[in-house]
Structure 1
């Protein structure tokens, strides 16, 4: 059967010498192969699967690569970006009659027919155009999501049969009818594999020699083209393999390289002097492994991870998350993010200086998130763990984590943390929205329990036996004002305020600032929630504080400024959605009280460590037993949240020490470091209505 099949191919080739299309049409009845009038769309010279990149941008506009993503490490380049050495090496070594034939090298294939008629495999004789066709057919199989269908497709594209050879020949003739030789050669060099996940001449030049396709030397070009003939045998990053020789001499590649150089000399593409110098050149690869995935982003990995999650929800890339990520990995996109490298650098540095990755006291976590006021652009994001998604790496030490503590479960795997008293700002917002004054005093002392709380959503609520107190026993008076309770974070004062409000209204006000539970469940609205018992993502709290600083207008977080496709066109990016959370007169009164928190209240340590100082608002938070400690605040330009948390269990930070000092005060060392850079870079203005005249707000009609 092999003899008959190859005899048919031989007959076709004899006829093809006169009329290739007629020849293939003549055998179509026997082999159920038809000649199409037009080239199948998937064989057209189109964009190939390429790696996508995520960048930060320096102040001068210079992009800084954070990470790349790819199924195939490829950078498609135009013909003028490929050295003539590469083109000549490819033609001389793979298809010397490339510029003469019509897609089928008749002489070469006839020799292959003779040598393969009685052998165990079908090999050799394929023109560059046929190799291009085969690569396209294989690529077509690799993008099929269903594995069984993909395997069947791959078998059909690579099986050793005369029918497959004839199909390639037919397609090769059709390709040559539609495209000129230069285009076919360019795309062949872009599509072909160079070993492992390295595809295309540009990625190969970078991977093996740390250069570009345009800048490779003659011996480098010949070594790269040598790999194409048999990537496993001739690739250059396995110097001590059985096939490639020992002692780093790359013997197998050198033999094929020198053969190609000899063919280039015979074809008069190079001079004798060039040939002698090239074959005398020692093969010295400079293996440059490309970055792939967010783990390569180092200290910026958790921000990178959040960007990837954002892209997975972007309909620009497809109908569902799986399709979007696949399209992103193959589409050759350049994504320019919102990350501010100056703020991020300050956040990473202060995190490393103040919170260890591992603590003998327990599972300690720490976070910093910064957001630009008025735009929602995420400027910084870091935590005290090394990032990895590799199970083996994660099991190697507790310094690694795949979970982004800064974000929601849906965008990083975290269930959030209790923000403690930082959550009180939403009760303050509701208090002022309902027309109460900062100077208004409330009944803030209970000896047994707090009685009934009004809840328009669930009806009156009572909590028998529940009697929270203030942090210090000498801070339990009966008539704190709202301003005093805010400055000093009195629990009893805020519960007294809540008794005059609607618990459901407080929840709705928090939601108006885009506050939500990190696990996706509805916010709890019981009386204890006033003191910050909902698990919230730190980034969510940064967004809310930015909303307060933005005259009560909250803008949802965004991490992408620009997306540029492989063809240079710009794609639409997810935009921040801004909405009024409270009226400006309310946010102005909030800002007045929260500035007092900074200058004379619980956030004094952060305020006086910040330099330069601009007008700033803030609020601290400490959960029960000092398990979690927070510092949240903002200027009119940047909002930052810094916290140290108990990832598992419940730590007492007041009895814990780090090298930098008390664990409970690490927040007051980290937050100023970040905001000092933010203030120096972005400045800050006075807050609206931030004066004593705004102590009273108008009463709203119900």
Structure 2
């Protein structure tokens, strides 16, 4: 009772003290020592994430919130709401000083008699309590948060005393209208719905400004017991309507806030909710395929210090800060990507099939599209039972909600190509493309010192194309040609070139630089590969990917966002030569002819297929867009190439997705011709190949080295040259300086058939044995005596014949 008496004394004298400044006596000393000022924090509001439509206007992708609240201004709230709150909760709101003396006295007497709850809370006092609750809920430490919440909500005289003091202080700092507005924006309306605007939208599907008398009264009735009177639960509707009809509407009529006619109409209107479920989280993204991009954006916020000191703070700020996040996502491209993906890749299949498409804009780093063959859901119960749903983003790094990446296969060859051109080689250089066993000790690595042992490699499909130009090797993706190119380079520098293009492992580990890595054994995210190819299209300038263009806080202030950083990965002349070679990949003889839109827009690209066809890729670009498509195993090793996917050859699905999507994308963005590569980088410096026939292998090697060529021993072949001397080379004539010239050594097993026509059989035998062909190899067809003459031979004159084994048939005729 002493505490309650203190409240009464305080309530009666404080308004006067607040106005006159008269000194308090000891009877209210305890009260005067309580804190008197509370500052409303920024309200927890939902964060909205937007893409951009074709007309440049924003379109909402998703909203994320802990409290579904949208703060609104005074003129955005129906007068019926304001009148209902005042009439029901605090009729003397505009005349008291934060505490209603009469109500407080009645409540105190009732409490003393045990017949009434403590009650008597004015709107200002309720606002104070809601502010304290919000402050408690914002505390990161769970124990501290629970203690603060308990302190703010417990029913006790001392809590009421503090509430009164703070309410009086609040009224000194803010106008009545500001207090009422703050109360309506902060008040809970059941569940995760906070504030009158979100309540109006959720429960009735209208804005707060458009609420009718009946709707406003129903929502104000909810404030008394938010979770017990919320009308999204059918069992609560009768109680809500009872409070509306017995308390709220009569109070409004009594206080002359509505007319009798309005009262009668509202009473006759049943409480009928029109629920509009709020969108929360990336699983509700629109379109649903944008859920993975949305999740990528949330991870950017979690990871960037610009949004808070640590991840937990950043995530809390994100869910409560009321951010308006305008992303780089192009709504048109996103829909086109989703259409292409849905047409060719099912969400679930006989094995764990995955697919991803990511587009990056050259020159800006903007991520314009990001889809995969799954629906986004971060609900473990959903992903555990639905193979078509996932929370893992196949397109991004692990740190940003993605997987640990996928081996990229031959798409990685572009970095060996770049290093090849940087070091003075050309696209016209000739390389041996045949399968073989390589000596790992011949691969230079200035970082690790290199390796020993051997490495046996085959080309895709077991092909042995022989000597090919680098241009041909790129178009046909010849493994052995690129490995032999790498033998002439520094593996460490190839890795550094890849890194200059922004390439890194998706799991955060360092890139490998073993010879096998030339063929794409590093696990990398599609976003990373798309950005790297965008750099090639951007004349060698790499721009790091960005997904956010602008963020506004809940006051409309622009916040700092991560910026794309651009740097020169290779010289523009090198990039021009790369695009020249990579355009051949989409030409008729290239490995990606099926990807070519053939729409008049120039494109370049590179295919990639990993061991056992576990992963298949196509990454390509125009001057305007770079797009990576991956189709493969999420888990397991099923051959994509040998699998039919939705009626199509699995190995071609990547091409079909890329072609359909880029055809649509080209229609919006277009594309220009790529810069022309210099003749030197395309053809190299042409040099005459020395004549090597008859030389020893050492002499041939020295001659080629002196001429500026690389020597490669082609092995021993059947030849008419003396054993252990050079028979021939490939190529012959001229080749670009630095080309590999393959030299073949004679085994001395072939002889040249002399011209026997017109000779007698005896003279023919002498000529044959004189040419080194054994007499036992001669077969005479026809007469051998008299005046017989040779009319022909098989093989013919000048043709080779193996000594000691092949037969030489000599045809004779009598003269």
Fold equivalence (TM over 0.5): yes
Change (3 A) 1:664 1:120: farther
- What aligned pairs does 1:520-531 form with structure 2 within 5 A after superposition? 520-531=508-519
- Asked if 2 retains the 8 angstrom alpha-carbon contact of 1:660 and 1:666, the reply is no
What secondary structure does 1:66 align onto? strand
Cα distance in structure 2, aligned partners of 1:319 and 1:283: 46
1:403 to 392, 410, 421: 392
Does 1:112 find its partner at 2:95? Answer: no
- Asked if 1 retains the 8 angstrom alpha-carbon contact of 2:592 and 2:606, the reply is no
Cα distance in structure 1, aligned partners of 2:679 and 2:661: 29
Cα distance in structure 2, aligned partners of 1:689 and 1:167: 78
Indicate the residue corresponding to 1:102 in structure 2: 97
What secondary structure does 2:215 align onto? helix
- Asked if 2 retains the 8 angstrom alpha-carbon contact of 1:134 and 1:157, the reply is yes
Indicate the residue corresponding to 1:427 in structure 2: 416
Cα distance in structure 2, aligned partners of 1:559 and 1:301: 13
Does 1:545 find its partner at 2:544? Answer: no
- Asked if 1 retains the 8 angstrom alpha-carbon contact of 2:426 and 2:680, the reply is no
Indicate the residue corresponding to 1:470 in structure 2: 459
Indicate the residue corresponding to 1:643 in structure 2: 630
Q: Deviations over 1:54-106 (max 9, x none)?
A: 01111223321111111211111111111100000000010000011010011
Cα distance in structure 2, aligned partners of 1:615 and 1:693: 22
Indicate the residue corresponding to 2:788 in structure 1: none
Deviation, 1:113, is: 1.2
2:216 to 212, 221, 244: 221
Indicate the residue corresponding to 1:34 in structure 2: 33
- Asked if 2 retains the 8 angstrom alpha-carbon contact of 1:585 and 1:697, the reply is no
Indicate the residue corresponding to 1:270 in structure 2: 258
Indicate the residue corresponding to 1:142 in structure 2: 137
Cα distance in structure 1, aligned partners of 2:193 and 2:24: 37
Q: Deviations over 1:656-694 (max 9, x none)?
A: 112241111100110011111221111111111247675
Does 1:47 find its partner at 2:42? Answer: yes
Change (3 A) 1:26 1:214: farther
Does 1:586 find its partner at 2:574? Answer: yes
Indicate the residue corresponding to 2:719 in structure 1: none
Deviation, 1:696, is: 4.5
Cα distance in structure 2, aligned partners of 1:239 and 1:23: 54
Deviation, 1:613, is: 3.1
Between stretches 332-341 and 565-574, larger displacement belongs to 565-574
- Asked if 2 retains the 8 angstrom alpha-carbon contact of 1:563 and 1:571, the reply is yes
Cα distance in structure 2, aligned partners of 1:280 and 1:216: 16
Q: Deviations over 1:597-653 (max 9, x none)?
A: 111343443444x15231111111111111111111000000001121111111111
Does 1:310 find its partner at 2:300? Answer: yes
Indicate the residue corresponding to 1:336 in structure 2: 326
- Asked if 2 retains the 8 angstrom alpha-carbon contact of 1:476 and 1:492, the reply is no
Cα distance in structure 2, aligned partners of 1:403 and 1:697: 46
2:607 to 602, 620, 626: 620
- Asked if 2 retains the 8 angstrom alpha-carbon contact of 1:633 and 1:639, the reply is yes
What secondary structure does 2:587 align onto? helix
- Asked if 2 retains the 8 angstrom alpha-carbon contact of 1:12 and 1:24, the reply is no
Cα distance in structure 2, aligned partners of 1:31 and 1:527: 80
Deviation, 1:447, is: 4.0
Change (3 A) 1:150 1:447: closer
Indicate the residue corresponding to 1:414 in structure 2: 403
Between stretches 320-329 and 24-33, larger displacement belongs to 24-33
- Asked if 1 retains the 8 angstrom alpha-carbon contact of 2:345 and 2:645, the reply is yes
Deviation, 1:224, is: 0.6
The structure whose RCO (Cα within 8 Å, separation 6+) is larger is: 1
What 5-or-longer segments of structure 2 have no aligned partner? 686-735, 738-815
Indicate the residue corresponding to 1:123 in structure 2: 118
1:661 to 648, 653, 677: 648
Indicate the residue corresponding to 1:14 in structure 2: 12
Does 1:5 find its partner at 2:3? Answer: yes
Deviation, 1:32, is: 6.4
2:493 to 499, 502, 505: 505
- Asked if 2 retains the 8 angstrom alpha-carbon contact of 1:517 and 1:535, the reply is yes
Between stretches 688-697 and 99-108, larger displacement belongs to 688-697
Indicate the residue corresponding to 1:132 in structure 2: 127
What secondary structure does 1:89 align onto? helix
Cα distance in structure 2, aligned partners of 1:98 and 1:665: 73
Deviation, 1:371, is: 0.6
Does 1:287 find its partner at 2:275? Answer: yes
Deviation, 1:413, is: 3.4
Between stretches 199-208 and 253-262, larger displacement belongs to 253-262
Q: Provide TM-score, normalisation by structure 1.
A: 0.94
What secondary structure does 1:339 align onto? strand
Indicate the residue corresponding to 2:310 in structure 1: 320
- What aligned pairs does 1:651-690 form with structure 2 within 5 A after superposition? 651-690=638-677
Change (3 A) 1:552 1:467: same
Deviation, 1:325, is: 1.3
Indicate the residue corresponding to 2:550 in structure 1: 562
Indicate the residue corresponding to 2:356 in structure 1: 367
Indicate the residue corresponding to 2:769 in structure 1: none
Cα distance in structure 1, aligned partners of 2:114 and 2:590: 85
Deviation, 1:369, is: 0.5
- Asked if 2 retains the 8 angstrom alpha-carbon contact of 1:72 and 1:330, the reply is yes
CA RMSD for the aligned pairs?
2.1
Indicate the residue corresponding to 1:437 in structure 2: 426
What secondary structure does 1:316 align onto? helix
- Asked if 2 retains the 8 angstrom alpha-carbon contact of 1:627 and 1:652, the reply is yes
- Asked if 2 retains the 8 angstrom alpha-carbon contact of 1:470 and 1:476, the reply is no
What secondary structure does 2:632 align onto? strand
Cα distance in structure 2, aligned partners of 1:413 and 1:639: 20
Change (3 A) 1:662 1:540: same
Change (3 A) 1:696 1:605: closer
1:89 to 47, 67, 84: 84
Cα distance in structure 1, aligned partners of 2:315 and 2:633: 32
Cα distance in structure 1, aligned partners of 2:217 and 2:491: 75
Q: Provide TM-score, normalisation by structure 2.
A: 0.81
What secondary structure does 1:323 align onto? helix
Indicate the residue corresponding to 1:247 in structure 2: none
Change (3 A) 1:474 1:12: closer
Indicate the residue corresponding to 1:394 in structure 2: 383
Cα distance in structure 2, aligned partners of 1:669 and 1:26: 86
Q: Deviations over 1:443-497 (max 9, x none)?
A: 4445443442111111132332x211111334342x2221111010000111110
Between stretches 450-459 and 571-580, larger displacement belongs to 450-459
Cα distance in structure 1, aligned partners of 2:631 and 2:15: 77
Cα distance in structure 1, aligned partners of 2:269 and 2:57: 37
Say how many residue pairs are matched. Answer: 682
Q: Deviations over 1:169-201 (max 9, x none)?
A: 111111111111111110010111111111110
Larger Rg: 2
Structure with the higher fraction of residues in strand conformation = 2
- Asked if 1 retains the 8 angstrom alpha-carbon contact of 2:476 and 2:591, the reply is no
- Asked if 2 retains the 8 angstrom alpha-carbon contact of 1:353 and 1:660, the reply is no
Cα distance in structure 1, aligned partners of 2:53 and 2:414: 35
Cα distance in structure 1, aligned partners of 2:295 and 2:182: 33
Q: Deviations over 1:127-167 (max 9, x none)?
A: 00000011111111111111111111112212222111111
Indicate the residue corresponding to 2:750 in structure 1: none
- Asked if 2 retains the 8 angstrom alpha-carbon contact of 1:17 and 1:106, the reply is no
Deviation, 1:34, is: 1.3
Cα distance in structure 1, aligned partners of 2:290 and 2:398: 19
- What aligned pairs does 1:172-183 form with structure 2 within 5 A after superposition? 172-183=167-178
- Asked if 2 retains the 8 angstrom alpha-carbon contact of 1:586 and 1:697, the reply is no
Between stretches 572-581 and 309-318, larger displacement belongs to 309-318
